[in-house]
Amino acid sequence: MGSSVITSLSLSFKQVPPTAVPAFLDYVLSSTGVSPSTLFESLIKELSFRAEKFPSDDCNHIASLVAGICHLLKSFGFGTEDNHNALQLFVWRVFVPLMKMVRAYDLGMLNKVNLPPPAVY
C-alpha cells in the first residue's frame, strides 16, 4: 500500500471517532480494493508506541487506530487458528505496548475500543 494512502488514512483516523471506524474501514476496503491483510499490517505499522506519555489530543487517534485493527481482526478472521500470527502481532505490537502506556486514569480510552472476544481453539 502506498505511503500516501497510509498517511491519508492515518490523518482520517484523527477525525473519525472510534465508533465510526468499522463503517469507515468497510468503505475504504470496498472502494479501494485494498486487501484486509494489507490494511491490517499497515495499521499495525502506523501505531507508534515510542513515547511513555502521549498527548491527550492523541487519545482519540490511537483509540480509532486500535478500533480499526480490532475490526479487521473480528471481520476478516485474523484472530482464527488459521491466522495465529495476526493475533500474535496484535498482542505484541498493539495491546502490550498500549497497556504499558495507559495509566489508571487513562482507562477511558480503552473503554472506547471494542476488543475482539478471545478465540476458542
Helical axes 3-15 vs 21-32, angle rounded to 10°: 150
Cell numbers for 2: 502506498
- Residue pair 77/83 in contact (Cβ under 8 Å)? The answer is yes
Q: Is the pLDDT of residue 2 over 70?
A: no
CA distances from 117 to 39, 54, 75 (A): 21, 27, 12
Output 118 or 7, whichever has higher pLDDT. 7
pLDDT in tens, 3-28: 666 678 878 888 888 899 999 999 88
DSSP summary character for residue 94: I
Instruction: Quote the CA–CA distance of 33 and 27 in Å, as a whole number.
Output: 10
Whole-number percent of the chain with pLDDT over 70: 65
Please name the residues in contact with 53: beta carbons below 8 A apart, sequence gap of 6 or more: 101
How confident is the model at residue 42, as a pLDDT? Answer: 84
- The pTM score is 0.73
Output 61 or 2, whichever has higher pLDDT. 61
How confident is the model at residue 20, as a pLDDT? Answer: 93
How confident is the model at residue 50, as a pLDDT? Answer: 44
